[in-house]
Amino acid sequence: MHDVFGYSGFRPGQEEIVGLLTEGCNTLVVMPTGAGKSLCYQIPPLLLDRLAIVVSPLVALMDDQVAALRANGVAAGCIHSGLPREEQVANWRAVASGDCRLLYMSPERLMTGRMLDALERLQPAFFVVDEAHCISKWGASFRPEYEQLTALKDRFPAATIAAFTATADRATREDIAHKLFGGNGKTIVHGFDRPNLSLAVATKTKWKDQLLAFLADKRESSGIVYCLSRKSTGEVADFLNASGFRALAYHAGQDAATRSANQNLFMTEQAVIMVATIAFGMGIDKPDIRYVCHLNLPGSLEAYYQEIGRAGRDGAPAETLLLYDLQDIRQRRMFIEQEETGEEHQMREHKRLDALLAYCEAPGCRRTALLSYFDEAIGACGNCDNCLDPPAMIDGTDDAHLLLTTVDDTGETFGGSHIIDVLCGAESSKIVDRGHDRLACYGKGGKQGKGYWQGFLRQAIAGNYLAIDIQRYGALQITRRGRAVMNGQERFLLRETGPAKRATAKASRAAGHSLNEADAALLVSLKKQRMDLARARNVPAYVVFTDAALSEMAQRRPETLEQLAGINGVGPKKLRDFGAIVLQTVREFSRVGA
């Protein structure tokens, strides 16, 4: 940990996991993003001087991990289709000769007969499955090619199998452990809480205004804006560029070269916004992403947790905002119904979406609601919109009765727009032709207005008083709970809605370096130097030094290589490669009286 990677000690949980893997125990590890999972599986093969095969889902992630290892003097390599053939051959020869102890591959490349035969001759000590939730159909990011990895335990019975993920509920964890090592191992869960992330959710009204308000103080920071469709990523990126930001679009419909170029620019440059579908993000290891904004509803709480987890991996404060509306709910329901999966799977996905909607409409602490889904209990966080500005709760039973009666009287065959039109007394041909203007409920909600009923309806769906029947084109149906309200057996408490409240992100572990004005100016110089070094090597900036390491340098102002070696994250290789340059920058800065 110290002599190679330059850290003074383990983070919570790391030492236990390194010990288990070194002892040969199959292990599934669930740790929050940014908690240091990579070191847990990188250290054991170095300790034992044995080969580890690391299965990773994305080419860019493999390249970045290998670059970071090599920057620390670790012989690592990867084999994937994006590398020139001669480089792949050189990497394999290094593995075969015993000079390389960490080899990264995709599941598709690993699980070929030829590769498995070759590896049998080398007998790897470890197989590490990163982003392990991809192996489970219970998870939010199932990838069919990961399913092939279930054969590893039989093909390599002497190897230790390790699986790592930041996103897995109980059912997903059990499924992963069963598939990868037949339950013959340990599952370590080190919590899901990311206290440095602020959490906020708001009704989507004028998304352009809401997005600009969210980004107003973030022009010098990098972040991700998630959209539901490929088309909207381009539209949002164009809008942000026209508004003075530097934004890139990213989606699966782009050619590989465009995606790779945009991802590389985002990873290496500062103050870049990636506007993307969920095609972007898995394993993205950029530590200084300062915000994540969803312009549409994610697919589940697991997906949401995974996507916001890309922010603040350095432990410094980061903000999240989720905007959604009724159309998002309808689209998500439709996506589930259109999946070519069994009825049981669809039912499970609907329940997952229900849990996300309940989170969105939660009147209490959002972090408490989010973590309870993963079986983790905490008190109120003080770092979400609901904690900072608790919403008022109103007794909406009378209006709920009116809404539900309207759904009932129109035969539970219409979507939300028509129901609201009936309530507000609209005179559309659809209403007149069906005689809905003669119903007792017609026009009874006119004084509240359309916007009120849209919010009310959203909460009724989130609270499971009404359900959306996608197979009947989004028709609203009254649930058992809704019937209880109609029969006077249950009250309907309405969460008063208003503008989105900003949560102020709290600092955590790595954010403790409070810099004075002079130190902050030195930090700017160090970051510029880091960017030059990174560009010259064609690697992400954090591969050279992390933000936390630079902040510590700016604060402590090392004058000798020995003092620089005491900075967390400065190992021997980085000291040799970059030490003299860093010291020169610090000396020059101090010389001018800063």
The predicted structure's pLDDT at residue 473: 66
pLDDT band at 61, cuts 50/70/90? confident
The predicted structure's pLDDT at residue 329: 87
Q: pLDDT, tens digit, for every residue of 296-341? A: 999 888 889 989 999 998 888 999 999 998 889 889 988 888 877 7
Domains belonging to the chain, first-starting first, are 14-189 (3.40.50.300), 197-388 (3.40.50.300), 393-495 (1.10.10.10), 513-591 (1.10.150.80)
The DSSP bridge pattern shows strands 52-55 and 393-395 to be: unpaired
228 or 260: which leads in pLDDT: 228
**Percent helix, strand, coil in the chain (nearest 5)?**
50, 15, 40
Q: Looking at residues 11-26, what average pLDDT do you find?
A: 95
Residue 145 has pLDDT above 90, yes or no: no
Block residue for tokens 């300790």: 47
The predicted structure's pLDDT at residue 234: 94
The predicted structure's pLDDT at residue 169: 79
Residue 463 has pLDDT above 90, yes or no: no
462 or 238: which leads in pLDDT: 238
CB atoms within 10 A of CB 99: 10
The predicted structure's pLDDT at residue 447: 92
Share of the chain above pLDDT 70, in %: 94
518 or 120: which leads in pLDDT: 120
Among 5-9, 82-86, 354-358, the least confident range: 354-358
DSSP reduced 3-state for 135 = helix
Residue 131 has pLDDT above 80, yes or no: yes
Q: Looking at residues 73-98, what average pLDDT do you find?
A: 93
CA dist 246 → 215, 240, 265, 269, 342 (Å): 12, 7, 11, 10, 43
56 or 170: which leads in pLDDT: 56
Q: Phi and psi (nearest 5°) for 284?
A: -60, 120
pLDDT band at 471, cuts 50/70/90? low
465/361 Cα distance (integer angstroms): 13
8 or 342: which leads in pLDDT: 8
Q: pLDDT, tens digit, for every residue of 34-50? A: 778 999 999 999 999 99
Mean pLDDT of the chain: 88
540 or 410: which leads in pLDDT: 410
pLDDT band at 542, cuts 50/70/90? confident
For the record, the structure tokens of 245 come out as: 């930001």
For the record, the structure tokens of 141 come out as: 């990011």
DSSP letters for 244-305: T--EEEE-TTS-HHHHHHHHHHHHHSSS-EEEE-TTS-TT---TTEEEEEESS--SSHHHHH
Q: pLDDT, tens digit, for every residue of 480-535? A: 989 999 999 999 988 775 554 555 544 443 333 467 888 888 988 998 899 899 88
The DSSP bridge pattern shows strands 247-250 and 289-294 to be: unpaired
257/250 Cα distance (integer angstroms): 11
The predicted structure's pLDDT at residue 513: 43
The predicted structure's pLDDT at residue 363: 81
Q: Looking at residues 373-384, what average pLDDT do you find?
A: 85
The predicted structure's pLDDT at residue 590: 84
pLDDT band at 269, cuts 50/70/90? confident
Residue 20 has pLDDT above 80, yes or no: yes
Residue 142 has pLDDT above 70, yes or no: no
58/280 Cα distance (integer angstroms): 10
Angle at 101 between CA 95 and CA 106, to 5 degrees: 75
Residue 141 has pLDDT above 50, yes or no: yes
The predicted structure's pLDDT at residue 507: 42
349 or 73: which leads in pLDDT: 73
DSSP letters for 307-363: HHTTS-TTSS-EEEEEEE-HHHHHHHHHHHHHSSS-HHHHHHHHHHHHHHHHHHT-S
